[in-house]
Structure 1
Amino acid sequence: MNWNIDPVLLDLKIVKLRYYSLLFATGLFAAYFLVSKFLREKGLPNDYPDKIFIRIVISLVIGAHLVHLIFYEPSAFIHNPMRIFEIGSGLASHGGVLGALFGLWLFCHKYKESFFE
């Protein structure tokens, strides 16, 4: 049995849609709607979901990419630190979690909200 599955779901010549990208985007959209609903139920301002989402997504991607470089490609990163700016060179899920938590902390710190409530 051969499990060598092509990671490309759809090739439009200009851009290739990969399974991982589709799942990543689906997870982000689902999280946005769930967080929006949760914050509305808590009676928090309507603009909070957008502000939280922007900080979390940016921090998540940076954290996932940075942790990937540090843990999975350390020698390449040490020899060429500019790799941090290369798009598509890898993401680590545990770095994404750390980055997302950091983004949430940034939001809570700026808007004087409790991180643990």
Structure 2
Amino acid sequence: MLLSILWDVDPEIFNIPINLWGYNGAISVRWYGLLFALGFLLGYYLVEKMFKKEGIPLEWLEKLFMYTLIATVIGARLGHVFFYGWDFYSQHPWEIIKIWHGGLASHGATIGILVALYYYSKKVSKKSMLWVLDRVAIPVALAGFFIRTGNFMNSEIIGTQTDLPWGVQFVRASIVDPLTVRHPAQLYEAFCYLASFGILMFMYWKTNAKEFSGRLIGVFFMLIFTARFFIEFIKENQEAFEEGMSLNMGQLLSIPFVLLGAYLAYNSFKKQSV
């Protein structure tokens, strides 16, 4: 008999009933939101240690945190809207702001963060954008681990069918056959992101990589999006339009980031330290 894990965890940890000013409902606390927040809080702590080590003014930190947080949420939401769900959202634009209904895309989050940090580098740090990205890459990799773990708790972004002993039956997944044994693709990604975080931490603290603009963010792009590219082969497609595509949308969006990362990492070896 095939061994498997029956995953039937409620995405909601608890809820708080609210009866106030005519409103009768509840505020729910979910695993995804908790893990998302934890990723950013730990990221804040890590960047604070990095700034202290380098003698960077800590006043820059709060703005960096807010820019990155807002850019992540807005970018991830708009990425999902434009890359995966434009047919629906173009007809129901009011649904775009209903982020609690789900629908975030990591590629969109990456683009949003790049835009926000460009503005941050010009208006706050007055340093090159690559300098900022090299330091943000480390906590973002850690946040990616927590976010994908949150996806696992939500029984979403699930893998294809497998006969491996660690296959999972996602009982609460919104699919036709929730009892099919599947790859826990979210955990595959989560562990790859955690390993990437470990590599970047080693490079920052134990080598001189931070002295060469673009090296850390280049390695980040290569590690994160190469992992994403290959894991997509064992994921269920997120949208119907991806059926029949040789490479799905996640893979097509990953390729430019892998190439950009390779360019930045290679170019950093030709530069003088900063």
TM superposition score category, shorter chain reference: 0.7 to 0.9
How far apart are residue 100 of structure 1 and its match? 2.1
- 2:127 aligns to what? 113
Greater mean deviation of Cα atoms: 6-15 or 20-29: 6-15
Residue of structure 1 equivalent to 2:14:
10
Q: Which one-letter code corresponds to 1:38 in the other structure?
A: M
Query: Which residues of structure 2 form unaligned runs of 5+?
Result: 18-25, 132-274
Residue in 1 that maps onto 2:112: 99
How many residue pairs match? The answer is 117
Per the TM alignment, residue 116 of structure 1 is displaced from its structure 2 partner at its CA by 1.4
**Greater C-alpha Rg:** 2
Determine which of 20, 24, 31 is the counterpart of 2:32. 20
Q: Which residue of 2 aligns with 1:56?
A: 68
For structure 1, the residue ranges without an aligned partner over 5 or more in a row are none
Structure 2 residue 89 is matched with structure 1 residue 77: yes
Q: Do the aligned residues in 2 keep the contact of 1:56 with 1:101 (CA within 8 Å)?
A: no
Kept in 2: contact 1:59–1:100 (CA 8 A): yes
Partner-residue secondary structure (3-state), 1:79? coil
Give the superposition deviation at 1:30.
0.6
1:41 corresponds, among 33, 38, 53, to 53
RMSD: 1.7
What TM-score do you get using the length of structure 1 for normalisation? 0.87
**Matched AA of 1:26:** L
Structure-2-length-normalised TM-score = 0.40
**Alignment CA distance shift 1:85-1:53 (3 Å):** same
Distance in 1, matches of 2:85 and 2:111, equals 18
Q: Deviations over 1:60-104 (max 9, x none)?
A: 110011111223322221102232222313222232232223222
What secondary structure does 1:12 align onto? strand
Look up the match of 1:31: 43
| Amino acid of the structure 1 residue aligned with 2:113 | A
Do the aligned partners of 1:66 and 1:95 also contact (CA within 8 Å) in 2? yes
- Please state how far the C-alpha of 1:3 moved relative to its aligned partner: 2.4
CA distance in 2, matches of 1:80, 1:56: 28
Structure 2 distance, partners of 1:84, 1:22, is: 22
CA contact (8 A) 1:64 1:91 kept: yes
- The Cα offsets for residues 4-38 of structure 1, whole Å up to 9 and x where unpaired, read as 43211122232111111111000000111111111
Residue 48 of structure 1 deviates from its aligned partner by 0.5
Higher relative contact order (CA 8 A, sep 6+): 1
For the residues of structure 1 that align with 2:80 and 2:44, how far apart are their CA atoms? 24
